[in-house]
Amino acid sequence: MASIIPFKAVRPTRDKVSLVASRSYQTYTQAEREARLDYNPFSFLHIVNPGYKYDLELKGEDRYKLVKNRYLEFKEDAIFMQDNLPSFYVYKIVNREGNEFNGIVAAASIDDYEKDVIKKHEDTIEYREVVFKEYLKTVGFNAEPVLLTYPDNDKLSSIISDTQKERPEYEFTTTYRDTHYLWVINDAEKLEVISSEFSKINRLYIADGHHRSASSVLLSKEFEEQSLNNSYNYFMSYLIPESELLIHEFNRLVKDLNGMSKEAFLIKLDAMFRIENRGAILYKPSKKHHFSMYLDGEFYSLYLRKANYNISNALDALDTQILYKTILQPILGISDMRNDKRLDYSHGKSDLVTIKSKVDSGEFKVGFGLVPVSIDELKSIADEHLIMPPKSTFIEPKLRSGVTIYEF
């Protein structure tokens, strides 16, 4: 049973939230980051990049301490405030394509993570877990929720819908053309109903934020024998119903044909796929176990010869795994999909034109298009305690940092 509780968020004031909210640091180009740091003194980027004012690139403990200093300065300057009452936060995002996401920002239980009530489908890198754990330990806050999804629930949907009839605490549109809304729920009766409904849910699934949640678990274990407040036993999450989760595919690009000619490569593929040349017309697969391929100025459709491929579990049936087991590893010689420099990825929000342009430019030799992973596939992988190949899903919504902050 899931333990989801309210918390006292630290938040920007209403007049400054649009200036504070930022995408993840890594998603900005250097020019974009510098422009925001130069001309927006309220951007959350000033907190996560504290060395900018000194023209220094800081790392490790030195950076973490300055992050905490900048954060405290934002609080001292009344850019941030903390709610007086524990609250749930109804959060709505409408992206530039018109997709709508409605969920609740809350604190999720570390104990649920360890007991497999909160389920995972991606592997994590121990080094990154430890680094982020040390970061959290020093700065004392988390500013970006883990994205969790739950089975659609009529009672929770009704509460979210009724809350949204009131004036939102926040309403702002970003330069990325996403519009964000936030409502605060601190009525004791409503808080109890929300927590009670989540307690009836047996399984939650991490959609995005595996490293953030794993790092929070490490931090909780480090402090479990010390008399610290209960906040270390929870981590900030944004929970949305499964029907609103939007999953895009990650396509694959490879720099060479592993020493083979185009003709030899196609003959190798023929053993596992029925191949059709589609010419110069953009071809996007529409069914599971079907792939598109762009090679030497032409698109091909690849249909898996199912009689030649054994499916024994949910991972075997995943298209990213099929591509790996039938082409990337045995034919193109790519064993390490996380670190092989010959392999790159393009998420499905960038259409097949991206693959075509990168192959036509000579940067890559061949590109493969896939259909998106479904929510049922994601859940099956997690339920069977299996791990998806790297870059199997590009999931929306993408949250902004600094809108709600969880203090330890």
pLDDT at 249: 93
pLDDT at 211: 92
pLDDT at position 224 over 80:
no
How much of the chain, in percent, has pLDDT values that exceed 90? 85
229 pLDDT band, cuts 50/70/90, is: low
pLDDT at position 246 over 60:
yes
pLDDT at position 51 over 90:
no
CA-based nearest residue to 177, from 90, 97, 91? 97
CB-CB neighbours of 275 under 10 Å: 15
Predicted confidence (pLDDT) per residue in 89-147, tens digit: 999 999 999 999 999 999 999 999 999 999 999 888 888 899 999 999 999 999 999 99
Predicted confidence (pLDDT) per residue in 325-363, tens digit: 999 999 999 999 888 999 999 987 667 889 999 999 999
Sign of CA dihedral 271, 345, 285, 380: positive
Q: Are 100 and 30 in contact (CB under 8 A)?
A: no
pLDDT at 141: 96
How much of the chain, in percent, has pLDDT values that exceed 70? 98
Q: Are 285 and 301 in contact (CB under 8 A)?
A: yes
Mean pLDDT value of segment 14-20: 97
* Average pLDDT across the chain, whole number: 94
Q: Are 151 and 119 in contact (CB under 8 A)?
A: no
Whole-angstrom Cα distance, residue 347 to residue 394?
6
Domain segments of the chain as ranges? 4-246+396-407, 250-392
pLDDT at position 233 over 80:
yes
Mean pLDDT value of segment 246-258: 96
What is the pTM assigned to this prediction?
0.93
Rounded to 5 degrees, φ, ψ at 55 are 55, 40
3-state secondary structure of 109: strand
Strand partners, 102: 92
Four-CA torsion 378, 382, 385, 391, nearest 10 degrees: 50
pLDDT at 99: 95
pLDDT at position 238 over 90:
yes
Whole-angstrom Cα distance, residue 307 to residue 106?
47
Predicted confidence (pLDDT) per residue in 259-273, tens digit: 999 999 999 999 999
What CATH class does 250-392 carry?
A: alpha beta
Q: Are 11 and 404 in contact (CB under 8 A)?
A: yes
pLDDT at 52: 86
CA-based nearest residue to 44, from 24, 21, 63? 21
pLDDT at position 152 over 60:
yes
Mean pLDDT value of segment 244-248: 95
